Structures are given as C-alpha cells and as structure tokens.
C-alpha cells in the first residue's frame, strides 16, 4: 500500500447521519485537516457538487491532499450510492495528480451487511480504476483493522474471525 506523507492534507467528508470515523489515519500528524459535512436537507448529489467545488481551494498551495476519508451513512438508495461513488472518484482524482494518496470509506462497526458489501464493492471498483495513479481505496468498519488485501487492485477490505476460526470478509 502507498505510504502517506505526514505533511499532506487530510480531507474528512461526513455524510449526513454517519458516525465520526475514529481512525488512526485522521489522528496522525498532517499538514492540514479539512472537514466537510453534509447539511440537513442537502441532497447527496448537492453535497457532492459542493465538495467538488471546494476541493481545489481546501488546502494551501504546495500542500497536497494525501488522505481522504468518507464517513458513510447507511443509505443505499440509487442516488446515495451514485453520489458516494462520484465523491470517491473526485477525491481520488485530486490525489492522483500527486501520484499518491489513500481513500478510506469508513462506516460504523454496526453497519448492515448490505452496506458492507456495497462499500467493499465500491472500493474494489475504485482500486482497479486508480491503480496506475498509485492511489488506493480501502474500507473500514469501526475499529476493525484491515486484514485482507487484494494487491492486484490496491484495495483493502476488512475481515473478521467467526466462531469456527475462519475469516469472514466484510
């Protein structure tokens, strides 16, 4: 996986109703942190448009965005999924300009199986698209550590042990 530079910028994007991501990636030293949260009554597509409009001016000149965290809510309707995908691609595109970066799709450890599947599928799709730009996508549910990696697509997905000792990939 591509190692982040500690002096890079960290963007945290929070969908309405999502849990704040308690992740090491956002506690590490960074050159700058910016948080954009979806407002009450703002549509998913409106939120993506607002983030896209502000993305270029969020960090000081010479400070590249090296990490983007998207705190995801449980919405899985078509408009929410389309907006989440567009948001992720916009962030990865910005990081691809530096030829390095990390996108983290984060959700609650109590997330439904449907959301886990949707986010894992999105991360796999993004990893395949952005592999040449050395930008990686991963998924994290609560504090679950990233255990299973697909190096051919630069995608990480969470895995956990079940009663019989086998690993269940989220």
- Evaluate whether the domain defined by 9-169 bears CATH number 1.10.357.10: no
Residue 163 has pLDDT above 70, yes or no: no
pLDDT at 152: 37
Helix 113-130 with 78-96: angle, nearest 10 deg: 30
Highest mean pLDDT among 18-32, 48-62, 123-137, 146-160: 123-137
> Closest by alpha carbon to 47, among 36, 33, 59, 34?
36
pLDDT band at 29 (very low <50, low <70, confident <90, very high): low
| 44-72 per-position pLDDT tens digit | 999 999 999 888 787 767 678 889 999 99
The mean of the pLDDT values for the chain is 79
């Amino acid at each position: 996986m591509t190692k982040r530079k500690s002096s890079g910028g960290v963007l945290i994007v929070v969908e309405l109703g999502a849990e704040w991501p308690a992740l090491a990636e956002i506690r590490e030293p960074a050159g700058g942190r910016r948080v954009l949260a979806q407002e009450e009554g703002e549509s998913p597509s409106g939120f993506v448009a607002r983030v896209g409009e502000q993305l270029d001016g969020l960090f000081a000149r010479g400070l590249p965005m090296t990490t983007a965290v998207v705190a995801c809510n449980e919405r899985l309707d078509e408009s929410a999924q389309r907006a989440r995908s567009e948001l992720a691609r916009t962030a990865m595109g910005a990081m691809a300009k530096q030829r390095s970066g990390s996108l983290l799709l984060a959700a609650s450890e109590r997330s439904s199986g449907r959301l886990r599947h949707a986010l894992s599928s999105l991360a796999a799709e993004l990893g395949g698209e952005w592999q040449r730009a050395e930008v990686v996508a991963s998924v994290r549910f609560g504090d679950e550590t990233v255990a299973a990696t697909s190096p051919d697509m630069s995608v990480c997905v969470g895995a956990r042990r079940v009663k019989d000792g086998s690993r269940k990939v989220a």
